[in-house]
Amino acid sequence: MSSYNTPFEIHVHGQVPLRADVTFAQVQEALRPLWSYAGARSLRAGAASAYEEEPGIRFDEAEHTLQMCWTVAGNDDFRYALDDMCMGLNELAQEGAAIEVTFYDAEFDEEETPDEQSRDDFLMLFVGPTPAAIMRVQRDLLVQDVIHMMERHFDASELVGVVAEIDKLFVQRFDNLVSSLDIGKYPPRNGPRGGGGRRPRHLH
């Protein structure tokens, strides 16, 4: 896809543990939606990020991991590529993993239009070999966020009951959705679109 007249810079960030038998060819096919969207003809050609300081997309065959810190210019239709990517990675993942995707409004200038809000958006996507593996990662992230917020007011030892209640919610959710392909997406950690300022770009 051409980088001209694209309203977003889209940053994909995450690390996915892969099965030991996964090959480069399988990773390339799973990530076809990304590198194809970027206008490349292969993963090697499309693995570089739009920013030189970002490592891009890397498959570590020795460690059996996929690392992504990759930016591409695009539009809202990139969300379809993300859906297809998650479907492909589900087949290769050894365990559940989270992938952060940030849409930066390339046309927004806070200094020129201080009264307007940017169209920045943030998604947290999940991949994994089973629904249970995906929900385990969702649960862990939610517990981290809740504990981080509540430790400002309570000791960690006082929050055992809170964690237990979160676990009950996820058990109930799993029971209700175990046969569904739509496990759901973790809500944005920085609130609704345009709020709370712009998220810093990951550079690792």
Least confident of 40-44, 79-83, 133-137, 200-204: 200-204
* Chain segment 82-112, per-residue pLDDT in tens: 999 999 999 999 999 999 999 998 775 555 5
180 part of a folded domain: no
According to the model, what pLDDT value does residue 166 have?
Answer: 81
**How many domains are contained in the chain?**
1
CA dist., res. 59 & res. 68, Å (int): 9
Query: Quick check: helix, strand or coil at residue 173?
Result: helix
Q: What is the pTM of this model?
A: 0.75
Q: What per-residue confidence (pLDDT) applies to 143?
A: 84
Predicted local confidence at residue 129, as pLDDT:
95
pLDDT band at 73 (very low <50, low <70, confident <90, very high): very high
Mean pLDDT, rounded, for 126-151: 87
In a domain, 63, yes or no: yes
| CATH number of 64's domain | 3.30.70
Residue 149 lies in a domain: no
Residue 146: inside a domain, yes or no? no
Residue 183 confidence (pLDDT) above 60: no
Of 44-48, 65-69, 149-153, 182-186, least confident by mean pLDDT is 182-186
Q: Percent of the chain at pLDDT above 70?
A: 78
Beta-carbon contacts of residue 151 (< 8 Å; ≥ 6 apart): 159
Report the DSSP pairing between strands 56-60 and 8-17: unpaired
**151 lies in some domain:** no
Range of the structural domain that residue 71 is part of: 8-129
On whether residue 155 sits in a domain, the answer given is no
Q: What is the pLDDT of residues 31-71, one digit of tens each?
A: 999 999 999 999 999 999 999 999 999 999 999 999 999 99
d(CA 7, CA 109): 12
194 lies in some domain: no
Residue 165 lies in a domain: no
Q: What are phi and psi of 100, to 5 degrees?
A: -90, 135
